[in-house]
Amino acid sequence: MKKFINDPFNLVDEMLDGFLAVHKKKIRKLEDVRSIARTDAPVAGKVGIVSGGGSGHKPAFIGFCGEGMLDAVAVGEIFTSPPPLACYEAVKAANGGKGVLILLGNYAGDVMNFQMSADLSAADGIEVEQVILTDDVASAPKGQENRRRGVSGAFLCWKVAGAKAAAGGSLAECKEVVERVNANTRTIGVALSPCTVPAKGSPTFVLADDEMEYGVGHHGEPGTERIKMMSLDDTVQKMMNEILVDLPFTKGDNVAVVINGLGSTPQIELYAAFRKVKSILDTEKINIENAYVGEFFTGLEMAGFSITLSKLDPEIKSLLDAPASTPCYTC
Amino acid sequence: MKKFINDPFNLVDEMLDGFLAVHKKKIRKLEDVRSIARTDAPVAGKVGIVSGGGSGHKPAFIGFCGEGMLDAVAVGEIFTSPPPLACYEAVKAANGGKGVLILLGNYAGDVMNFQMSADLSAADGIEVEQVILTDDVASAPKGQENRRRGVSGAFLCWKVAGAKAAAGGSLAECKEVVERVNANTRTIGVALSPCTVPAKGSPTFVLADDEMEYGVGHHGEPGTERIKMMSLDDTVQKMMNEILVDLPFTKGDNVAVVINGLGSTPQIELYAAFRKVKSILDTEKINIENAYVGEFFTGLEMAGFSITLSKLDPEIKSLLDAPASTPCYTC
């Protein structure tokens, strides 16, 4: 394992120290727990938006804590759910008296620990709702969407939820719009090489020189197929074939596209992938309204990328375009 | 070589097609050459700021083309200087009648081709000045600063030049402030693994499992030492020891810090590196005014990072903080 680290068990704290020092104008650490909040949280009279999960996915989750996106984030160890108390304090920090919406990936530990935080918060009299994000088509078949993992489509959900809350939306309205985004969002990922969790010290999977892991999760979860290397265009075509029929996306739809690097894929390849996505959507007469290319939800240094398509309506489009100011995303 | 590509010789064009489609509101392609400009260039009555170089360093260079930074960028093949005509058209596209300032890394091909573009532009009656950036302490000894490579400190130079031009600075003033930034900026890089240029197909260098390339350039140029793996803190200490004495940076200085990922180093490690940089600067009583952690000037998928320190004065600080809106940097 070649990494720039000290003790692997201190890495998350050392990262967080650095992160807080760089972004001190926008975020602060909560006392006694490993959670953060925007400096001005709770914002009185605004629905609080909370997320969290394991570390190693940066810029997710903490990079999107700030005005117009997440109010507070609970920070776990690498690829490990944050403890219930960290989730609970994040909810309390985000509570401006109008309720708190928790957005989380569909991972057992996150679901359990955030449920406990919701129960504790409810006992405090805080109104809490949750939306479990499920955009990864590779993780369960159509018809079993609620078993799917939440992956890079989460970026769109955080953006929309934060904007809806900033615009004065009620807790029910914020929840409804995120459910609408999630229901209309589909993602699939592919990897060329694994990542290594520092505390474990060995790769999450092993691929031959001519193999790709198709349908990979962003912790390195096995995909649906181990396939031979293909050209970029053939890879994108295969991914798009799967995403397009799943919703389905059809002629005349307006969509947002996210091309998300999983860690070590150069931007030059991500933009080339976007070119092929656009070419396919042009042929299908599906209109790209918003496009995001870069790293949003990584898996440490995994080489790979995911494609997310999200069907837009005018409200969702305007919420995506609303201002945000966070450490890793400003618009 | 495992990469998401089609024909390696089409990769830059395919990337550029995708990039232009994503960022069409901010940038446009110039006709007949592989160069880009902000959509509203030339801005009448403003000094034009131009840069360019080989591809594979994204977000540099094209990611910083836009309001408050670069007006136009000439795009080369991967790790290859753009041809003179592309540089010349970039200069013309940036010329708003108040002169054009070219900022370039200290690479023979870039220097030669941009000099030809400057000569051609001068023959057209465009006033052109150049500043050659030289922040990499590893590439030549102290006293021979003009032989040093320009690396991630360029990000600060582009930002300051763009802001000075936007504020109405003359060509001479823009040149002077960039020369001041360059003279006060020092960078050093380290790598754990190489990158592979697609058209070549083999790594730029080979390291043993327990080795680091210390002082590496961001094309994978050999560093000053091949050293054994060390902890993150020891690595940062060694890098800082070299940078601090080179300028030197001393007690009471105000500085900007850039922690630049070279491609596949996870952000978690970059922020942990910043923490150690801050700890060292705190001890030295050097004050961090501005901090930037992420990818600014990569070398494809190289694993590694660089540390840049830049001594600030009030004018430079305010130019760094001035608004910018580019595809990959907004403030």
Sheet holding A185-193, edge to edge: A225-228, A211-214, A185-193, A303-311, A254-261, A287-294
Report the distance separating Cα A45 and Cα A166, nearest Å: 10
Give the per-residue pLDDT at A101: 98
- B183, B214, B244: which is the final residue of a domain? B183
B261 within domain boundaries: yes
CATH number of the CATH domain containing B83: 3.40.50.10440
Judgement on whether residues B16 and B165 belong to the same structural domain of the protein = yes
End-to-end CA distance of chain A: 37
- B157, B183, B209: which is the final residue of a domain? B183
In total, how many domains does chain A have? Answer: 2
Exposed / middle / buried, residue A242 (Cβ in 10 Å: 0-12, 13-18, 19+): middle
Geometric angle at alpha carbon B13, from B10 and B17, rounded to 5°? 135
Q: What percent of chain B has pLDDT over 90?
A: 100
Question: Best mutation site among B27, B36, B267, B289 for testing chain A: the one with the most A CBs within 10 Å?
Answer: B267
The domain in which residue B123 lies consists of 8-183
**Amino acid sitting at position B222:** P
Report the distance separating Cα A185 and Cα A270, nearest Å: 19
Taking residues B222-232, report their average pLDDT. Answer: 96
Judgement on whether residues B152 and B279 belong to the same structural domain of the protein = no
Please say whether the beta carbons of B217 and B149 come within 8 A. Answer: yes
A64 within domain boundaries: yes
CATH number of the CATH domain containing A199: 3.30.1180.20
Q: What is the full per-residue pLDDT of chain A (331 aa) written as tens digits?
A: 999 999 999 999 999 999 999 999 999 999 999 999 999 999 999 999 999 999 999 999 999 999 999 999 999 999 999 999 999 999 999 999 999 999 999 999 999 999 999 999 999 999 999 999 999 999 999 999 999 999 999 999 999 999 999 999 999 999 999 999 999 999 999 999 999 999 999 999 999 999 999 999 999 999 999 999 999 999 999 999 999 999 999 999 999 999 999 999 999 999 999 999 999 999 999 999 999 999 999 999 999 999 999 999 999 999 999 999 999 999 9
Judgement on whether residues B142 and B289 belong to the same structural domain of the protein = no
- Name every residue whose Cβ is closer than 8 Å to that of residue B62 and which is 6 or more positions away in sequence: B16, B19, B27, B36, B73, B75, B327
B37: β partners? B28, B72
A77 within domain boundaries: yes
B327 within domain boundaries: no
Q: How far is B129 from chain A (nearest CA, A)?
A: 30
Is the CB of A265 less than 8 angstroms away from the CB of B6? no
Query: Which is catalytic among the residues B23, B26, B57, B58?
Result: B57
Taking residues B19-32, report their average pLDDT. Answer: 97
B325 within domain boundaries: no
Q: Which residues of A touch B308 (CB under 8 A)?
A: none
Q: Which residues of B touch A275 (CB under 8 A)?
A: 14-15, 17-18, 21
Question: Best mutation site among A4, A58, A235, A264 for testing chain B: the one with the most B CBs within 10 Å?
Answer: A4
Name which of A190, A186, A241 is nearest A214 in CA terms: A190
Judgement on whether residues A127 and A189 belong to the same structural domain of the protein = no
Judgement on whether residues A98 and A20 belong to the same structural domain of the protein = yes
B293 within domain boundaries: yes
Query: Which is catalytic among the residues A57, A92, A159, A311?
Result: A57
Is the CB of A271 less than 8 angstroms away from the CB of B18? yes
Name which of A155, A12, A156 is nearest A80 in CA terms: A12
A222 within domain boundaries: yes
Judgement on whether residues A194 and A290 belong to the same structural domain of the protein = yes
A-B contacts (CB, under 8 Å): 170
Q: Which residues of A touch B290 (CB under 8 A)?
A: none
Residues B267-284: pLDDT tens digits? 999 999 999 999 999 999
Entry field: residues in chain A = 331
User: Would residue A218 show up in a list of annotated catalytic residues for this protein?
Assistant: no
Judgement on whether residues B275 and B159 belong to the same structural domain of the protein = no
- B183, B212, B242: which is the final residue of a domain? B183
Q: How far is A155 from chain B (nearest CA, A)?
A: 17
Judgement on whether residues B309 and B201 belong to the same structural domain of the protein = yes
User: Would residue A23 show up in a list of annotated catalytic residues for this protein?
Assistant: no
Judgement on whether residues A293 and A190 belong to the same structural domain of the protein = yes
Q: How far is A193 from chain B (nearest CA, A)?
A: 9
Exposed / middle / buried, residue A74 (Cβ in 10 Å: 0-12, 13-18, 19+): buried
In terms of CA atoms, which chain B residue is nearest residue A233? B6
Nearest by CB to residue A3, choosing from B269, B274, B288, is: B269
B194 within domain boundaries: yes
Q: Which residues of B touch A229 (CB under 8 A)?
A: 2
Please say whether the beta carbons of A62 and A29 come within 8 A. Answer: no
Entry field: residues in chain B = 331
The CA distances from residue B18 to A268, A279, A288, B28, in Å, are 9, 10, 12, 12
Give me A15's structure tokens: 């990262």
Judgement on whether residues B142 and B257 belong to the same structural domain of the protein = no
Q: B225-228 and B211-214: which strand pairing?
A: antiparallel
Q: Which residues of B touch A21 (CB under 8 A)?
A: 274-275, 278, 288, 291
Q: Across all residues in chain B, what is the average pLDDT?
A: 97
Query: Which is catalytic among the residues A219, A265, A281, A295?
Result: A219
Residues B151-207: pLDDT tens digits? 999 999 999 999 999 999 999 999 999 999 999 999 999 999 999 999 999 999 999
Judgement on whether residues B241 and B299 belong to the same structural domain of the protein = yes
Judgement on whether residues B33 and B123 belong to the same structural domain of the protein = yes
B213: β partners? B191, B226
